[in-house]
Each structure stands twice: as structure tokens, then as C-alpha cells.
């Protein structure tokens, strides 16, 4: 929302535009001139260039090549072919004799072609500076993108590490809740109907599963010093080593799923 305080009789568009420009400056931080922006760009170029990934001397090499062998050009006007440096009046005589010369051949197309060539040369020279600018900008952009990719890669790695840590922490906390000595088993009646199926074959499976879960917890309580307690603080591998029947997959499943009905399936099988 803008905040210009205006009345219809007191509007001054130039003042409003100054306010708008001031706001843009505030947002941008500093109002850089074109030259300053160019200077900043070159500074960043030097700072970010990575010689392993980029020919950092490319721009410099191009610049030096241009300075050492500047492209040749010349001025060619329609009077050039008549000029004489030592005898200036000769130009007038040559010009006077031009009609006779024209009886033999027409010099105008040649003059025109050479004039055009001189213009083409000048354009090429001008284009070189444009090429340099384009190349410089490309190098700059490439460097910026390379730095940005590096930053993003580091961020992804950092996020991935944090995610791993959080997952481990969540597992550990779930284990603590599940395996704390003296903890009450969850009251299945408080769970929703979908978690407590009633009647039929599904109901009998659910009953069997909950009984198996209770059996497993009773077994753990009977062995207070067993490594199953340590599993509560994240010692999953120890727990699996000591699980009955030597089923190494069964215990981690139980840890993952906590005290639910599904955790018993591994043991029952």
C-alpha cells in the first residue's frame, strides 16, 4: 500500500515521482549509477572466479590481445583519391581532370566500395568492444551461477544431514516411550474404531496381534537388565542381536513402529 499524502489541489507529480524513486533506492539499498554497477560487477568477477572450473584469464587475454594488435582501419571519403599531401593544388587539378578520367572508367563505384569498406572496418572495431562486453558478462554470470550452485549443494547437504539427525532422534524418542520400564501399555479402547476392529476374522487377527504385543512387553519386563532396555536410547543393533530366535529383522521393526498392533507381526511370523 502506498502512503502518499495527497489532496487533489496539492498534487505535485514531480514530488511523487521523487518519493517513488526514494522508495526504490531504499529497497535497493543504495542507488548505484551505471558506472558503479559495472565496477561492482568487475569486483565480483575477480572475487568469484574459480580457476579450476573457468578460464579466469579469458577476459584478460581478450583484452590484452585487443590492445597489442588493434584492428586496422582507415578513413576514406569521396575526396581521398584526389588528395595530395605534398602539393595540395594537385587535388584541384585532379578534380578538374576527373571528367577525362571518367571517359576511361568510372571511379565512383570504387570510391563507394572503399568508403563502405572503411565503414565496415569501423563497425567491426566497434563490435569488438561489444563482444568483449558480452564475453565479460557471460563470464560474470557463469561465475555467479557456479557460486550459487556450490551454495545450493552445500545447503542440500546440510539439510540432508539435519534430516538424518531428526529421523534418528525421532526413532530414539519413540523407543523411549515404548520401552521405558513400568510404562503402561496404551489403552486400545481410546483409539479410534479403525484401530480396534470388532468381530469377524479381522477382529480375531487384531486380538491375536494385541496379545502378541502384550506377550512381548511382558517378556521384556521380565528381563530388566536385558539389552532391550538399551534399545530405548538408540541401541537398535544390540537389541536385534539378542532377540529370540535370532531374527535380526524382527526387532528393528518393532522399534520403528512402536507399541502398535503392527509391531507384533514380525514376532508372530
- Contacting positions for another protein (CB under 8 A): 1-8, 11-14, 16-17, 20-21, 23-24, 27-28, 78
Nearer to another protein (CB atom), residue 13 or residue 184? 13
Instruction: Assign 92 to helix, strand or coil.
Output: helix
Question: CA 174, CA 240: separation in Å to the nearest integer?
Answer: 17
Nearer to another protein (CB atom), residue 33 or residue 68? 33
Contact 213, 265 (CB under 8 A): no
Least Cβ distance, residue 13 to another protein (angstroms): 5
* DSSP-assigned states of every residue in 26-43: HHHSS---HHHHHHHHHH
Contact 98, 108 (CB under 8 A): no
Nearer to another protein (CB atom), residue 6 or residue 97? 6
Least Cβ distance, residue 6 to another protein (angstroms): 5
Least Cβ distance, residue 45 to another protein (angstroms): 24
Question: CA 44, CA 109: separation in Å to the nearest integer?
Answer: 51
Nearer to another protein (CB atom), residue 23 or residue 168? 23
The cell for 4 is 502518499
Least Cβ distance, residue 16 to another protein (angstroms): 7
- Of 161, 253, 265, which Cα lies nearest the Cα of 211? 265
Question: CA 167, CA 253: separation in Å to the nearest integer?
Answer: 15
Contact 91, 84 (CB under 8 A): yes
Nearer to another protein (CB atom), residue 14 or residue 67? 14
Nearer to another protein (CB atom), residue 20 or residue 96? 20
Nearer to another protein (CB atom), residue 5 or residue 190? 5
**Residue 75 backbone phi and psi in degrees, to 5:** -95, 135
Question: CA 156, CA 106: separation in Å to the nearest integer?
Answer: 74
Least Cβ distance, residue 26 to another protein (angstroms): 11
Least Cβ distance, residue 109 to another protein (angstroms): 16
Least Cβ distance, residue 4 to another protein (angstroms): 5
Residues 6+ apart with CB under 8 A from 235: 227
Amino acid at each position: 500500500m502506498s502512503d502518499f499524502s495527497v489532496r487533489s489541489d496539492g498534487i505535485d507529480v514531480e514530488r511523487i515521482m521523487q518519493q517513488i524513486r526514494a522508495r526504490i533506492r531504499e529497497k535497493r539499498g543504495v542507488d548505484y549509477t551505471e558506472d558503479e554497477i559495472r565496477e561492482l560487477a568487475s569486483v565480483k568477477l575477480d572475487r568469484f572466479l574459480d580457476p579450476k572450473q573457468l578460464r579466469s584469464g579469458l577476459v584478460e587475454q581478450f583484452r590484452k590481445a585487443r590492445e597489442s594488435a588493434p584492428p586496422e582501419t582507415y578513413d576514406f571519403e569521396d575526396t581521398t583519391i584526389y588528395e595530395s599531401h605534398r602539393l595540395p593544388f594537385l587535388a584541384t587539378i585532379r578534380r578538374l581532370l576527373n571528367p577525362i578520367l571518367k571517359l576511361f572508367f568510372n571511379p565512383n563505384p570504387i570510391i563507394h566500395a572503399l568508403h563502405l569498406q572503411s565503414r565496415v572496418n569501423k563497425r567491426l572495431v566497434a563490435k569488438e568492444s561489444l563482444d568483449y562486453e558480452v564475453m565479460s558478462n557471460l563470464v560474470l554470470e557463469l561465475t555467479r551461477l557456479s557460486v550459487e550452485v556450490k551454495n545450493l549443494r552445500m545447503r542440500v547437504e546440510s539439510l540432508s544431514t539435519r534430516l538424518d539427525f531428526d529421523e534418528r532422534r525421532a526413532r530414539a524418542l519413540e523407543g523411549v516411550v515404548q520401552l521405558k520400564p513400568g510404562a503402561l501399555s496404551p489403552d486400545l479402547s481410546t483409539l479410534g474404531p479403525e484401530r480396534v476392529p470388532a468381530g469377524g476374522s479381522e477382529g480375531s487377527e487384531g486380538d491375536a496381534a494385541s496379545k502378541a504385543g502384550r506377550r512381548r512387553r511382558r517378556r521384556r519386563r521380565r528381563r530388566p537388565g536385558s539389552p532391550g532396555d538399551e534399545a530405548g536410547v538408540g541401541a537398535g543393533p544390540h537389541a536385534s542381536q539378542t532377540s529370540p530366535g535370532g531374527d535380526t529383522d524382527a526387532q528393528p521393526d518393532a522399534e520403528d513402529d512402536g507399541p502398535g498392533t503392527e509391531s507384533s507381526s514380525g514376532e508372530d511370523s
